[in-house]
């Protein structure tokens, strides 16, 4: 099937198999390996991307479902100067990563939360980010980093 979408601000058009997942398109065809595959069942959150601004599990989304859409991966979150975004900097400053496997999914999920401009308590953030799994940090530093980035 012919597919057209925008990935991190760049137009992409190509032929894909109807059963190809968005995660596999991003990782294998576009070489955007920041989108991680963990469980491949939509449970761990490591594959989270923004699909037209909303957090989506790319392992559960067929590439053809993104036809005409805008996809943002963790690679597309950087600052305008090419350096880390304020959220990425907050993750670094708070020690919100250890092994780093879950970090891209958390960053993208947190970006989706922060875009609405609503201030949330740490408890609310913990609940809203609970769809992503981390085995290393205990979640405290992740919640702290996101809390610091609220406007």
pLDDT in tens, 115-151: 999 999 999 999 999 999 998 888 999 999 999 999 7
72 and 9 co-located in one domain:
yes
Structural domain including 44 reads 2-76
Q: Cα 9 from chain centroid? A: 15
**Within a domain: 100:** yes
Domain boundary among the residues 50, 76, 102 is at 76
Question: 149 in helix, strand or coil?
Answer: coil
Query: Is the pTM for the entire model greater than 0.75?
Result: yes
pLDDT in tens, 59-98: 999 999 999 999 999 999 988 888 999 999 999 999 999 8
- Closest to 63 (Cα-Cα) out of 120, 23, 93, 99: 23
**Within a domain: 47:** yes
13, 3 Cβ separation under 8 angstroms:
yes
**Within a domain: 81:** no
- As given in the structure block, the two tokens for residue 81 are 């100067």
User: Length of the chain in residues, anyone?
Assistant: 151
Domain boundary among the residues 49, 76, 103 is at 76
Give the number of domains in the chain: 2
């Amino acid at each position: 099937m012919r597919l057209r979408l925008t990935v991190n601000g760049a137009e992409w058009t190509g032929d894909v198999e109807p059963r190809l997942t968005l995660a596999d398109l991003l990782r294998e065809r576009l070489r955007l390996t920041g989108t991680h595959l963990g469980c491949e069942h939509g449970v761990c959150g490591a594959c989270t991307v923004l699909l037209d601004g909303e957090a989506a599990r790319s392992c559960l989304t067929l590439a053809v479902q993104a036809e005409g859409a805008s996809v943002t991966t963790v690679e597309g979150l950087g600052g305008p100067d090419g350096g880390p975004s304020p959220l990425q900097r907050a993750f670094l400053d708070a020690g919100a990563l250890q092994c780093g496997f879950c970090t891209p999914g958390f960053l993208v999920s947190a970006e989706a939360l922060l875009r609405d401009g609503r201030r949330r308590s740490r408890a609310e953030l913990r609940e809203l980010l609970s769809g992503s799994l981390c085995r290393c940090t205990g979640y405290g530093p992740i919640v702290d980093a996101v809390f610091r980035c609220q406007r």
